[in-house]
Amino acid sequence: MQHSDASTVPMLTRLSAEQRREQLVSAALSLALRQGLDAVTVRAVADQADVSFGIVHYCFDSKDALVAALIERIITEQLEAFTGDDVLRSMAEPAGIGAQALADRLDATMLSVWRKIAEFPDRWILHSESMVMSFRAEPGSPLHGIGERQNRIAEHFVAQFLQAAAEASAMTWTVPLTTVVGAALQWVDGILYGWLSDRDDDAARSAFELLTGWLCGFARPV
Domain containing residue 7: CATH number: 1.10.10
Number of structural domains (the chain) is 2
Looking at the fold, whether 79 and 167 belong to one and the same domain comes out as: yes
End-to-end CA distance of the chain: 67
Query: CA angle, 184 as apex, 183 and 190 as ends, to 5°?
Result: 90
List residues bridging with 171 in a β-sheet: 221
| 5-9, 41-45, 99-103, 120-124: range with lowest mean pLDDT | 5-9
pLDDT, tens only, 11-21: 444 778 889 99
Residue 62 to residues 8, 18, 143, 186, Cα–Cα distance (Å): 19, 17, 11, 32
Other residues' Cβ atoms within 10 Å of the Cβ of residue 62: 12
Three-state secondary structure call for residue 171: strand
Looking at the fold, whether 176 and 128 belong to one and the same domain comes out as: yes
CA distance 83 to 159: 13
List residues bridging with 221 in a β-sheet: 171
Which pairing describes strands 219-221 and 171-173: parallel, antiparallel, or unpaired? antiparallel
Tell me the one-letter amino acid at 123: R
118-127, 128-137, 213-222 — most confident range: 213-222
Q: Domain end: 27, 60, 93, which one?
A: 60
* Domain assignment present for 56: yes
Burial 29-59 (b: 16+ CB within 10 A, else e): bebbeeeebeebebebbbbbbebbbbbbbbb
Looking at the fold, whether 106 and 170 belong to one and the same domain comes out as: yes
Percent of the chain past pLDDT 70, that is, above it, reads 86
Looking at the fold, whether 75 and 22 belong to one and the same domain comes out as: no
Q: Domain end: 17, 36, 60, which one?
A: 60
pLDDT, tens only, 84-124: 555 556 555 656 889 999 999 898 888 877 877 788 888 88
Looking at the fold, whether 43 and 78 belong to one and the same domain comes out as: no
Looking at the fold, whether 139 and 45 belong to one and the same domain comes out as: no
Q: Phi/psi of residue 76, each to 5°? A: -60, -45
Looking at the fold, whether 54 and 2 belong to one and the same domain comes out as: yes
* Domain assignment present for 37: yes
Instruction: Specify whether the CB–CB gap between 85 and 134 falls below 8 A.
Output: no
Looking at the fold, whether 87 and 43 belong to one and the same domain comes out as: no
Q: Domain end: 21, 40, 60, which one?
A: 60
* Domain assignment present for 153: yes
* Domain assignment present for 199: yes
Q: Model's pTM, two decimal places? A: 0.75
Looking at the fold, whether 39 and 79 belong to one and the same domain comes out as: no
Question: What's the domain range around 31?
Answer: 1-60
* Domain assignment present for 65: no
* Domain assignment present for 29: yes
* Domain assignment present for 66: no
